[in-house]
Amino acid sequence: MAKFGLNENNFTDPVLRNKFCEVMKYQIERTKKLFSEGEELLKYLPKKLKIEIAWTILGGRKILEKIEAAKYNVLKERPSLKKYELISLLIKAYSYAKRFS
């Protein structure tokens, strides 16, 4: 946050709160790229670990989607995954991981 001229005391100021949202947007784009780069490592992992890491990537992307849907306002409500979403993502992780076999 210091890189963007922010600290935890700034969040009551609406202008600086908008700046925080810009920081979140920047970090989300950066994280999306890291997930994409990390995908390439899946082909080198054993099956069980491949599924776990695929699940982590899919879950992380889902959280990023929720942050974007909330217009980056993570201070108002913390994004989280429901149980049904976790189960759905685990099922998807099995087929997702197979793509990297």
For residue range 25-49, list pLDDT tens digits in order. Answer: 999 999 999 999 999 999 999 999 9
Q: How far apart are CA 24 and CA 96, in angstroms?
A: 27
The pLDDT of residue 11: 66
Burial zone of 79 (CB within 10 Å; 0-12 exposed, 13-18 middle, 19+ buried):
middle
Query: What average pLDDT is seen over the chain?
Result: 89
56 located within any domain? yes
4 located within any domain? no
18 located within any domain? yes
Residue 5 binned pLDDT confidence (cut-offs 50, 70, 90) = confident
| Number of domains present in the structure of the chain | 1
5 located within any domain? no
The pLDDT of residue 21: 85
Residue 67 binned pLDDT confidence (cut-offs 50, 70, 90) = very high
63 located within any domain? yes
The one-letter amino acid code at 18 reads N
3 located within any domain? no
Write out the residue range of the structural domain in which residue 24 sits.
10-98
